[in-house]
Chains A and B, each alone.
Chain A
Amino acid sequence: MKSGTDYERIGLRVGFEIHQELDTHKLFCRCPSRLRDEVPDLQVRRKLRPTQSELGEVDRAALAEAIKGKAFSYQVYFDSVCLVELDEEPPHPVNEEALDVALQVALLLNAKPVDEVHVMRKTVIDGSNTCGFQRTMLVATDGSLEVNGRRINIPTICLEEDAARKVGENAEVVHYRLDRLGIPLIEIATGPDFSDPETPAKAALYLGQLLRATGKVKRGIGTIRQDINISVAQGARQEIKGVQELGLISTVIEREVQRQLALLEIRDELRRRGAGPVEKNLIDATEIFSKTSSRVIQKALASGGLVLALKLAKFAGLLGREIQPGRRFGTELSDRAKIYGGVGGLFHTDELPGYGITAEEVDRLRQRLGAGEMDAVVLVADVKERATAALEAVLQRANEALVGVPEETRRALEDGNTEFMRPLPGASRMYPETDIPPIPITAARIRRIRSRLPETPEKICARLVESYHLSQELAERLSLSENLKIFEELVASTGADPTLIAATLEGTIISLRREGVKVELITSEVLRDLFSSVAKGDLAKAMEDLSRAVSLEPGAAYTYVLRGDLYWEMGDLESARRDYAKALELSPEYHEALKRKRRLEDKGTGHDRKA
């Protein structure tokens, strides 16, 4: 979406849930929370059948679906997965350490812990939980935080178990690895209080740091995940799952706004055309394609399949309409066909002739279905059962387009687009976990946790300014950074200038990472040596240590940039200028060196080199 979008006007409402894995043993057994890459010791095959929730009615369709549905294969490691994950032993009592961390986070967010925690079962029958439900518990309600001077509500803080990792899938079986199943997750949900695409990422960053302050959370890709709820006026709430990078949040929001606006335009266009509900009339068009040169259709027919077609009256041109970059309305239909029919994909007349389907075949198809110029035709080639289910799903989605935007759970893709996962579930899929009695949260427990609360990022920031005389901006950055702990250690152990250390950690090293330097090789020992040498004024040795640590040649251009940075921080502008010049001599186009040289020239004097 272009930056000019008036989000206020379109009524954007965004909220999100952040899921953070805890670094404790698992939530309902004593297995370690450890991910595995080796060949599993055992694979166990299971099936799931839906059941009734405490308040709900049994879903007959879901039952039928499950009976013919896929089997699940679970990968097991004897030394880190036990009978609890395999659903062969009842859950053990809740991991008290994990519950303490959740309560700690609740207090940090000014939320109110519940008097008594009830473990619930949230029905999930995609196989990602061996028992067919995810165990989850509401720990606190009614918290808040402030972002950009605005109060954001935190209605709920929950503690739940992570699901198994999906590691593969074929037509019959979905493969899951049980190493992740049962790892404790804290879920923090915000209200739908954001009305622009940018602030949610800031709030997520803040919450991430708050969680890290407990010292009990896991780090790295996949250990913190965001689900985003987005709607626009006249649109519908979408739950977008599995955004793993903060950087992607604003893109996902922009793209979803774009999608909902496009779907509303399609609805308006359909209304203008006078489109009515799509007729459920699936036509066998196999005969038209008996001599087709489309590989996909040939293959389907050869293995006993057929070509089934459905007319979407007055949809011509709309299936090809782009709703997100690279995704068309036809893609939405195709997503549904894949999920409900298990088919590989579909064809529609907005993209035909093409894919080996000739103009003549399209004409005959249109004739056969009585499709006029304003109508579209969708076709699927597969065995009858799958093709029928696929087109029934297409029909439903097309009818939803007449109403507007359907409420859905969607999966975030790497580029910020989203694809359909399932309809948005209601509250009825929760029922009590009868294997675990309710857990009272005593006043004494809350007192104990409150007395040991870690610092919030605001307090850390104030302290950094106060005790280390960092600039407000640097202190703010450091207070939200993973480098905070090492910063304090380095200040204490080396005696080097705190601003120099902070700027190196938050500036130089981060820009090195962007350049592709393996900064993880710069361990805390390397940094300690580096700043000890700096404190003693021995920059040559400092450089040598650092170069060796990152296995770079001593003469590489970047080492001069690094040393230049250090000189600049220490106020020796002349030496800094000389080092940047040296770097440019070795590598004339070197952007980082050019940038610094220019900034140094602009400034002439001064101490601050930050971007």
Chain B
Amino acid sequence: MVMPGYRGRIERILKRASVKVGDKVKVESRGRTYVGVLMPRTDLGDPNHLVLKLSSGYNVGVRVEAATKVTLLESGELPRLTLPRPEIVQDPNKPLVTIVGTGGTIASRVDYRTGAVYPSFTAEDICSAVPEIAEIANIRVVEACNVFSEHMTPDLWVKIARVVAREINAGAAGVVVAHGTDTMGYTSAALSFMLRGLFRPVVLVGSQRSSDRPSSDAALNLISAVAVAARSDIAEVTVVMHGTTDDDFCLIHRGTKVRKCHTSRRDAFQSINEVPLGMVRNAQIKMFRDDYQRASQGGRVRVQGKMERRVSLVKVTPGLPSNVIRDIISSGGKGIVLEGTGLGHAPESLFDGLALAQRRRIPVVMTSQCLWGRVDMNVYSTGRDLLRLGVIPAEDMLPEVAWVKLMWVLGRTRDPERVAKLMLQNVAGEITPRTRPDVFLRPIFEAK
């Protein structure tokens, strides 16, 4: 691509002047003269401007009109970002940790097409930017995929799970999955269900401030995640992210109990309905609990990756009509998770649709849009009615975790009774047997 971002008239003018991106040019337009390096143009901006980087370092957009004159002063290279390749020295006394790249903000860089942050670093680039991780472990880097977190799919979960299993079975002490934050909770839940016989730590990590800025949280998160993968005895899928807004420590969340609770803060990830498993400060791990699966030296991880894609997550709203359910069923839906109100309720207007689901042997699972707390459908008559309609109460499971789990369960069996049994069986810590009194929202900022 010689002329990234430039189209139409502006592209013709640049071509006529034999100018390409990276060249030093003079642009004369309406009594102004600018000298600078031609930069790529974002697709999203006004197409009639070209972007110059002046010698002061400032970028400036120049409107191109018919009379605009562009002169080539000096040919240049397209600006390219190069980090020195990391010199990975293998130390036989250190454990091996595999970092699985998937794209997303822990590995991102300026993108000229959109003018926005976009994944383009390879996982190796991260190693070079955060040399501390090499002090903790021998690092191996593989790429499972390279997509933005919001473009993650169930197919890609399976792909990631296979790579993780392969690495652990081949002897990695632990695996770190670098993932965009938007859907990290979904992927962590999916991996929790898919990875059977897991005997080593699998840690998902991301960053809320992109790694192209000095204040990025990526480094602390990654160092902490590698520490958990290399040094912890947690044979579960976890999420390791900032514990507070400070660059102080990270929390280790169970992969089925964690949720992104803020659009932008570093400490967006919170454990819901339980305390985190532990924390990491200066690459040292401190556990808060002992009810987790212990790691062992030997074993074999299998991937149960069969997923029923036709599962819907429906948020219950007042007066929600039954045709929402009917439409799902008529378009081939095989399972429904409801995000009910309060203790797990839905309005009468939905009952016809639920009755239809019951007749068609399509499982319906109830979670709560309160997020915190457990559903209980015996307290009020509406709840009892819903139970009679075959709705499965999913305890304190997070709605999106129940959605992932139902996809996974329907990959095993279609039998409604077995589905109900499996949904209520604690497969990967997704159900908290007892709720501690101290696990509800605390003040985010503790006023001093």
B residues within 8 A CB of A117?
Answer: 60-61
Q: Cβ of A52 and Cβ of B83 under 8 Å apart? A: yes
In the bound complex, do residue A437 and residue B214 qualify as a contact, i.e. CB atoms below 8 Å apart?
no
Q: Number of B residues contacting the other chain (C-beta, 8 Å)?
A: 56
Binary interface encoding of chain A residues 40-71 relative to chain B, with 1 for a CB under 8 A from any of its CBs, else 0: 01111111111110110110100100110001
Given known contacts A50-B214, A112-B31, A432-B59, A83 and B264 CB-to-CB distance under 8 angstroms: yes
Q: Are B247 and A71 within 8 A (Cβ)?
A: yes
A118-B60, A131-B215 known; A434-B49 Cβ under 8 A: no
User: Which of B56, B57, B129, B211 lies at the interface centre, i.e. has the most chain A CB atoms within 10 A of its CB?
Assistant: B57
A interface footprint on B55-85 (CB within 8 Å = 1, 0 otherwise):
1111111110000000000000001011110
Query: What residues of B have a CB within 8 angstroms of the CB of A428 in the complex?
Result: 57
Across-interface contacts of B44 in A (CB, < 8 A): 437
In the complex, whether B279 has a CB less than 8 A from a CB of chain A is no
CB distance from A406 to the nearest CB of B (A): 21
Interface size on A, residues (CB 8 A): 62
Give the CA-CA distance A90 to B219 in the complex, in Å.
19
B32 partner residues in chain A, CB cutoff 8 A: 112, 141-142
The CA of A430 and the CA of B59, in the complex, are separated in Å by 9
Expressed in whole angstroms, the Cα–Cα distance for A115 and B219 within the complex equals: 38
> Considering the complex, which residues of chain A in the window 111-139 have a beta carbon less than 8 Å from any beta carbon of chain B?
112, 114-118, 120-123, 125, 130-133, 136-138
- The CA of A55 and the CA of B79, in the complex, are separated in Å by 6
A138 near B60: Cβ-Cβ < 8 Å: yes
A512 to chain B, nearest CB (A): 45
* Cβ contacts B68-108/A at 8 Å (1 or 0 each): 00000000000101111000000000000000000000000
Verify if B448 is at the interface (C-beta below 8 Å from A).
yes
- Most chain B CB neighbours (cut-off 10 Å) among A44, A67, A118, A123: A118
Residue from A41, A50, A142 within 8 A of B448 (CB atoms): A41
Residue of B nearest to A55 (CB): B79
List residues of chain B with CB within 8 A of the CB of A89: 263-265
Inter-subunit contact B56/A114 (CB<8 Å): no
Interface centre among B56, B59, B110, B248 (most CB of A within 10 A): B59
A55 touching B53, Cβ below 8 Å: yes
Do B60 and A49 touch across chains, with their CB atoms under 8 A apart?
no
In whole angstroms, what is the CA distance A350 to B29 when docked?
60
B448 touches A120 (CB 8 A): no
- Which of B31, B55, B212 is the one whose CB lies under 8 Å from A51? B212
Among the listed B63, B131, B248, which residue makes an inter-chain contact with A115, where contact means beta carbons less than 8 Å apart?
B63
- CB-CB contacts below 8 Å: B197-239 with A: 209, 211-216, 219-220
Query: Whole-angstrom distance between the alpha carbons of A44 and B244 in the complex?
Result: 9
Tell me the number of A-to-B contacts counted with CB atoms below 8 Å: 161
B265 touches A88 (CB 8 A): yes
- B111: shortest Cβ distance to chain A, in Å? 8
Q: Which residues of the other chain, B, contact A47 by a CB distance below 8 angstroms? A: 220, 247
Residue contact A54 to B53, C-beta cutoff 8 Å? yes
B400 contacts the other chain (Cβ, under 8 Å)? no
- Pairwise interchain contact B246-A440, C-beta atoms closer than 8 A: no
CB contact list, B27-53 vs A, under 8 A: 29, 31-32, 34, 37, 42, 44-46, 49, 51, 53
Question: Nearest residue in B to A89 (C-beta to C-beta)?
Answer: B264
Q: Which listed residue (A114, A133, A142, A156) contacts B61, Cβ 8 A?
A: A114
- A373 part of interface (Cβ distance < 8 Å): no
Q: Is the CB of B55 within 8 A of A132?
A: no
Please indicate the chain B residues that have their CB under 8 angstroms from the CB of A55 in the complex.
Answer: 37, 53, 79
Whether B441 is near chain A, meaning CB under 8 Å from some CB there, is no
Please report the C-alpha to C-alpha distance between residue A430 and residue B31 in the assembled complex, in whole angstroms. 27
Q: Are A123 and B214 in contact (CB under 8 A)?
A: yes
A274 to chain B, nearest CB (A): 39
Tell me whether A198 is interfacial, beta carbon within 8 Å: no
**Chain A residues with CB under 8 A of B82:** 57
- The complex places the Cα of A605 from the Cα of B248 at a distance, in Å, of 77
Judged by a CB distance under 8 angstroms, whether B447 is at the interface is yes
Q: Is the CB of B246 within 8 A of A45?
A: yes
Cβ of A86 < 8 Å from any Cβ of B?
yes
Contacts of A578 in B (CB 8 A): none
**Which residues of chain A are within 8 angstroms of B247 by Cβ–Cβ distance?**
45-47, 71
**Shortest distance from the beta carbon of B163 to any chain A beta carbon, whole Å:** 28
Once the chains are docked, how many angstroms separate the CA of A130 from the CA of B79? 27
Contacts of A118 in B (CB 8 A): 51, 58-61
Q: Which residue of B lies closest to A431 (CB)?
A: B110
Contact B214 A88 (CB under 8 A): no
Contact A430 B58 (CB under 8 A): yes
Residue numbers in B under 8 Å from A585 (CB-CB): none
Q: Which residue of A lies closest to B262 (CB)?
A: A88
Instruction: Please tell me if the beta carbons of A427 and B61 are within 8 angstroms of each other in the complex.
Output: no
State the Cβ distance, B237 to closest chain A Cβ, in Å: 27
Q: Check if A455 is an interface residue, CB within 8 A of chain B.
A: no
Q: Select which of A51, A141, A437 is within 8 A of B115 by beta carbon.
A: A437
B285 interfacial by beta-carbon distance below 8 Å: no
Query: In the complex, A130 Cα to B216 Cα: how many Å?
Result: 10
A374 CB to nearest B CB, Å:
43
Within 8 A of B (CB), among A386-404: none
Judge whether B132 is part of the interface by a CB distance below 8 angstroms. Answer: yes
| CB-nearest residue of chain A to B244 | A44
| Chain B residues, Cβ within 8 Å of A142 | 32
Interface string of A102-116 (1 = CB under 8 A from B): 000000000010111
Interface string of A209-253 (1 = CB under 8 A from B): 000000000000000000000000000000000000000000000
> Quick one: closest A residue to B267, CB to CB?
A88
Please name all residues of chain B whose beta carbon is closer than 8 Å to the beta carbon of A431 when the two chains form the complex.
110, 212
| Closest B residue to A440 using CB positions | B46
Whether A132 lies near B214 (C-beta < 8 A) is yes
Q: Is the CB of B49 within 8 A of A116?
A: yes
In chain A, residues 63-103, which have Cβ atoms closer than 8 Å to a Cβ of chain B? Answer: 63, 66-67, 71, 78, 83, 86-90
Contact B60 A46 (CB under 8 A): no
Q: Is B374 an interface residue when CB atoms closer than 8 A count as contact?
A: no
How far does the Cβ of A399 sit from chain B's closest Cβ, in whole Å? 26
Q: Report the separation of the CA atoms of residues A131 and B248 in the bound assembly, to the nearest whole angstrom.
A: 16
Q: Please tell me if A429 contacts chain B, counting CB pairs below 8 Å.
A: yes
Q: Are the C-beta atoms of B57 and A434 separated by less than 8 Å?
A: no
A430 to chain B, nearest CB (A): 3
**Is B24 an interface position by the 8 A CB rule?**
no
Q: How far is the CB of B341 from chain A (nearest CB, A)?
A: 30
Shortest distance from the beta carbon of B65 to any chain A beta carbon, whole Å:
10
Q: How far is the CA of A117 from the CA of B213 in the complex (A)?
A: 21
Which of B31, B129, B211: most chain A CB closer than 10 A?
Answer: B129
Given contacts A87-B215, A138-B54, contact A116 B46 (CB under 8 A): yes
B54's closest neighbor in chain A, by CB?
A138
| CB-based nearest B residue for A57 | B82
Q: How far is the CB of B118 from chain A (nearest CB, A)?
A: 9
Binding site for A on B (CB under 8 A): 29, 31-32, 34, 37, 42, 44-46, 49, 51, 53-63, 79, 81-84, 110-111, 115-117, 129, 131-132, 209, 211-216, 219-220, 245-248, 263-266, 445-448
Pairs A–B under 8 Å by Cβ, sample size 15 = A44-B245, A44-B246, A55-B37, A55-B53, A87-B209, A115-B62, A117-B61, A118-B51, A118-B58, A118-B60, A131-B209, A156-B58, A428-B57, A430-B57, A434-B115
The 5 A-B pairs with the shortest beta carbon distances in the complex, nearest first, are A132-B214, A116-B61, A430-B57, A427-B57, A115-B63
Apart from A42-B448, A438-B61, 18 more pairs, CB < 8 Å: A42-B446, A49-B129, A55-B79, A63-B129, A71-B247, A78-B447, A88-B265, A88-B266, A89-B264, A118-B51, A118-B61, A120-B57, A121-B213, A131-B213, A138-B60, A141-B34, A437-B115, A440-B46
Q: Which residues of A pack against B, CB within 8 Å? A: 41-52, 54-55, 57-58, 60, 63, 66-67, 71, 78, 83, 86-90, 112, 114-118, 120-123, 125, 130-133, 136-138, 141-142, 156, 158, 426-432, 434-435, 437-438, 440
